[in-house]
Every structure is written in structure tokens, then in C-alpha cells.
Structure 1
Amino acid sequence: MNSADTHRFPNGTFTPEPKLAKSGKIVTAQAKIEALLFLRHGEQQLLSMVIPVAMLVGLSIFRVNDIADPVQRMFPMTLAIAVMGAGFTGQAIAVAFDRRYGALKRIGASGVPTWALIAGKVAAVAVVVVLQVLVLTIVATLLGWQPTWSAIPSGVVMLILGVTTFTSLGLLLGGTLSSEMVLALANTIWFVLLGSAVYVAMMGDSLAVVTRYALMMIPSVALSEGFHAAVTGAGINMWAMAVLLVWTFFGVVSARKLFRFTMESD
């Protein structure tokens, strides 16, 4: 080998230069992985798609409490339940078992910061929620609901708030406790949130104003009532938005501070 061959490549050409990828690429890659895993999971689809659709059809056909337009009342409620199932229960359980089996430890070791993991999961839930909204909207339309363009802006605002709120709360629960506790608590809390939203929706206008505003401090009720205001053309429900903003702040700040990639047993 002559001297010319030894200098074919400039010095440093093959020197490793590890560095963190751009924030946008990290979040996009994480969101893609999370969305694909979510869509392949049967239990996740049951909570976030099958149950909301079944409730929309059942409660719209079999009228309860003499609601004048059951579809218009139940459609926003099932949207809230779908968002809650995808963002809160689904993420909490998935994250807890990812931590248990060391999946998140490997993600953390790859250089993905906590904020990027949270942002990626929120983005993945947003993708899933868009599909949920499309399916539920089609079902509601077939049941007689008439969509209006004026409902879209306020509906999108509530949708973004709902996704952020429930995903951050799901990450807070799934990222701090053991998988067994998360499994029990996530399902229990889901039933409580579900029951609260269904109760307020089924009571309709017969519910006292003070009671309604008090129950709207529960995030599922706030999101349901926020969607209802959007669907009926009333614009943004400011009280519902304020409640969701408070829950979002609590969830994001707490999750960023307390989230752990591993469990104590690791």
C-alpha cells in the first residue's frame, strides 16, 4: 500500500460524532411509533372506539329522560369518552407496562428526553383521536345529526385541550406508579369519569346550573360540555376551557417532574 492510498480520505472522515437529533425529528419518530402500537392494540380500540360508538348508537336509539335530540346530546359525550380512553386510560396502562418491561428505559438511554416522550405520545393520541372523530361523526350523521361548519373552530379548540389534558394525566399516572396499581386505578378512574360524563349528558337541561358547573370541574364532564357547546353552535364554553386548562397545567407540570422511565424494582 503506497502513501497515496493511506490518504484517500481526509483525516476525521470516519470519526464518530454522536449528537442529539433535532427536536422535531425526535417527536415525529416517537409519535409514529406510538400511533402504530396504539392502533394494533385490541384493548385500546375497545376503550377508545368500540365502547364510544356502541354508547352513541344505544343511547341515541333508546331515548332516556325524554331528551329532545338524543344524538346531539350524546355525540359530544361520546367524543369526550373516546378522547379520554385514548389519552388517559390507554396511555397510563401502556406506559406502566413499558416501564415494567424496560422499554422506556431503552428509550431514555437512546437520548430521548422526557418532554419529547410526552410530546410524542400527545401527538400519537392526536392522530388516533382524529380517526375517532371521523368515525363518530359518520355514525352520528347516519343517526340524524346535522353537522355545521360553525362548530369546527370551537370543537377543534376543545379537542386539542382534551387530548393534552388526558394524555398528560395518563402519563402522570403511568409514569409514577407500579403497573399493577396503574392497571387498577386507570380502569377505576375511567369508570368514574365515564359515569360522570354520562350522568350530566343524560340529565340534559333538567340538571341545576350550580350542580352542572360543579360537576364540570371533573375533566371528562368539562370536555363533554365543551364539545356540546361547540356542536350546538354556542361557541367555546369558557368554564369548561378554564377547567381543562387547569387540569392540563397540573398534568404536564407533574408528569414532567415525576415521570420515571423505570420502576423501583428495575
Structure 2
Amino acid sequence: MSTRPTPGTESPAVEPRSPGAAAALGTRVVRHGSYEALAMLRNGEQLVLAIVLPLLALVALVITPLLDGYGASRIDIAAPGVLALCTMSTAFTGQGIATGFDRRYGVLRFLSTTPLGRSGLIFGKAVAVAVVLAVQLVVIGGTALLMGWSPLPAGILPAAVLLLVGSAAFTALGLLVAGTLRPEATLAVTNLVWILLAAAGGVIIPARSLPEIVQGFVAVLPSAALGDGLRTAFLDGALDPLACLVLLAWAALASLAAIRWFKWS
């Protein structure tokens, strides 16, 4: 004989989540971003590009007279420039190369059809860039502090804003290159551009200190905007509005171009 529960004592119906149901978008983005960040940090080539080369650049700039005359001390000029270099290496070169080969092997096309989706894939890559950049800031910034770097505390917030906008701009540029060129061409272009911008793009040496014939051109590059903007933030404790606008413009234009011409396979 069956019994019925007393009216008013029934347990509220709880609809269990189906084992095959997809997680929330935020969860999917964080998981994919964590996976990509770990993949980048475990990759020897990416680790050299993200950590070893910036550290070598920092040490070389401090022990050589290359930056003499650009500021009060070598480390105060070198540290912001190397942090900008880190952003370029992670957001542009690292993401460009990884995305280019993911595109060749059909990984992007496969992931775009999963619950992660195209938007989740892009946001996940942004999370990965942020995680790796945070590791770089701790390692490079900590090394610079041990070498005598003394940034103004008031410049931390403006620098964070510039790094955020700069990483968005360089990530969009990296995705644009990776989504329109063959992987081999992406590998060559991203590395070549990184070297050129590092050497003469206003990242290490302030744009205003370059020959006058190229100052106007270099000043509107995202590399110069990020490098000069970080120097202004850490040395003067202020936000450079022009540098921020240049980075925002590059981020917007590169994002629109990537949306228009990016090929998933």
C-alpha cells in the first residue's frame, strides 16, 4: 500500500543537471584559459620568449651604457620597457604562433563547434594572456626591484590600465596575423615584428630619443605607446592620455580587422 506525503511537507522538486550539459560560459572560459596558459608556460620556446629573453634584456640594459642619458638611472628606464616587451611577447608573438598552428591542425574549427564556441575561445585566449602576463610581471618586476628599480606607487594604477589595453591591442594583432596567414608565415612575421619593434619601435628607447625622421611614425605604433606610457606612469606617477588613446585605437582597429578577415580553418 502506497502512502502520500502530508500536504505542505513535500520536498521542492530539484531538477538535476544532466551529465552531458555544458558548464556556464564563465566556467568554460576560465577552464580553457587555464589550459592555454599552462600550455604556454610548459612550452620551452614560449617560456624562452616570455621569461628568459626579457630577463636577459633587462640585465643587458642595466649593465651596458645603452640607456645612459635617457633618465635618472638605467633600471628606471629599462624596467618599464622590458614590461612592455613582455606584453608584446605574450599577447602578440606567443598567441599569434599558438593560434596559427591551432588553426592549421583544425583545433580552432573543432573548438568553435563545441559548447565553448567562438566567443568563449577568444575570451579564453584573453584569460591565458592575462595569466602569463601576470607571471611575467611578478618575475620581471621582482627582478627589477632587486636590481634597484623604484617605481612611484602612484603609477601602479595607470600602468595597470596601459598593460590591460596594450595586451588587448597586441592580442588582437596576433589573432589577425594568425587568422590570415599560413602558420609558417605567422611564425616568421610575428618574430620579425617583435624584433623590429623591440629594437626600434619605442619599447626600450623612448620614441622622442629616436632620429627625428622616424619619430612621428614610431610615436603612433602600439609598441611606443605602451613603452612610453609605462615610463610616464612609473617615473611620473601619471597616465599618458595620448598613449592610452593610441593603444585603444590599435585595439579597436585590429579587433575589427580580425573579426572581418579571421579564418577559422
Bucket of the pairwise TM-score, normalised by the shorter protein: 0.7 to 0.9
Q: Which residue of 2 aligns with 1:37?
A: 39
2:248 paired residue number: 245
- 3-state DSSP class of the match of 1:150? helix
Question: Partners of 1:205 and 1:253 in 2: how far apart?
Answer: 30
Q: 1:230 matched to which residue of 2?
A: 233
Residue 171 of structure 1 aligns with an amino acid whose one-letter code is: L
Q: How far off is 1:210 after superposition?
A: 9.1
Equivalent residues in 2 for 1:1-266, closer than 5 Å: 21-64=23-66, 66-67=68-69, 68-197=72-201, 201-202=204-205, 206-207=209-210, 212=215, 214-262=217-265
Instruction: Work out the percentage of aligned pairs sharing the same amino acid.
Output: 35
| C-alpha separation in 2, matches of 1:173 and 1:245 | 18
Query: Quick check: 1:71–1:144 contact (8 Å CA) kept in 2?
Result: yes
State the distance in 2 between where 1:55 and 1:149 align: 24
Distance in 2, Cα, partners of 1:85 & 1:53: 12
> Structure 2 vs 1, CA of residues 228 and 260 (structure 1 numbering), >3 Å: closer, same or farther?
same
What displacement does 1:203 show?
5.9
Measured after TM superposition, the shift of residue 239 of structure 1 is 1.2
**CA gap 1:206/1:31 in 2 versus in 1, 3 angstroms:** closer
Counterpart of 2:30, as a letter, is T
- After superposition, the Cα gap between the structure-2 partners of 1:216 and 1:115, relative to the gap in structure 1 and judged at 3 Å, is farther
CA deviation string 1:87-112 (max 9, x = no partner)? 10111111111111122222122133
TM-score, normalization: structure 1?
0.85
Equivalent pair of 1:79/1:136 in contact (CA under 8 Å): yes
Q: How far 1:152 moved relative to its partner?
A: 0.9
In structure 2, the CA distance between the partners of 1:171 and 1:34, relative to structure 1 (3 Å rule), is same
In structure 2, C-alpha distance between the alignment counterparts of 1:103 and 1:200, rounded to whole Å: 33
Cα offset, 1:254, TM superposition:
2.0
Question: Secondary structure of the equivalent of 2:153?
Answer: coil
Deviates further, 181-190 or 105-114? 105-114
| Contact preservation (8 Å) 2:50, 2:90 | yes
| One-letter identity of the residue aligned with 1:139 | T
Q: Does the CA-based 8 Å contact 1:114-1:256 persist in structure 2?
A: no
Deviation at 1:163, TM superposition (A): 1.1
- The offset of 1:236, in angstroms, is 0.9
Measure, in 2, the Cα distance between the counterparts of 1:114 and 1:257. 14
Unpaired stretches in structure 2, ≥5 consecutive residues: 1-14
Distance between the aligned counterparts of 1:41 and 1:257, measured in 2?
Answer: 30
Distance 1:22 1:216 in 2: 42
What's the TM-score once normalised by structure 2's chain length? 0.85
Q: Where do 5+ consecutive residues of structure 1 fail to align? A: 1-12
1:152–1:213 CA distance, 2 compared to 1 (3 A): farther
